[in-house]
A = this chain, B = another copy of it.
């Protein structure tokens, strides 16, 4: 019954555990999933979790980090188009990504530091920052620190809007798109002297 002991490359095994954790944590809270269950899902013994991640919490954070980052795919070519159209196409692409890509990203809009510790918040912050860079790039704007600082909150807003749309049904896709496009344009162009 017990599967024969198999010896893998560290990076491979690490990945294996990480993916199992992502799956489990996608539907159940941190403290409800035991390391025993985590280990079983990954097909290893509990000891390995500590060996590769040190800590249960550490594994949790790694899983979140992996789940929360948006896919780093290239956007469709937007060269030469006016800013407004680029903005609309970009937000449309993000909405599509939100539907197909998964719930984890959308769900990252609630209460990180509610935890008390800032490590989870840091994970979300990093993801938002990356999303902000992605949008700036798509809009053909310079990767400016100030612009990024404005677009990071926009990421938070976007996730929240997606939740309204996908989970509560209080928005149509079009409404969401209109609202987000207008907001992003506002954030990027507004003078705040």
Q: In the complex, how many angstroms separate the beta carbon of A144 from the nearest chain B beta carbon?
A: 11
The yes or no answer to A164 lying at the interface (CB within 8 A) is yes
- Copies of this protein, total: 2
Instruction: Report whether B114 and A68 are in contact in the complex, using a CB–CB cutoff of 8 Å.
Output: yes
Contact with B along A159-193 (1 / 0, CB 8 A): 11100100010110011001100110011001010
Q: Which of A44-52, A80-88, A103-111 is found at the contact surface with chain B?
A: A103-111
The yes or no answer to A78 lying at the interface (CB within 8 A) is no
Given contacts A104-B114, A124-B110, A160-B156, is CB(A187)–CB(B192) below 8 Å? no
Q: Which 3 A-B pairs have the closest CB atoms?
A: A110-B112, A107-B113, A149-B170
19 contacts between A and B (CB under 8 A): A29-B115, A29-B119, A30-B116, A31-B31, A64-B111, A67-B114, A107-B111, A107-B112, A107-B113, A107-B114, A110-B113, A110-B121, A110-B125, A149-B170, A156-B157, A156-B159, A178-B190, A178-B192, A179-B187
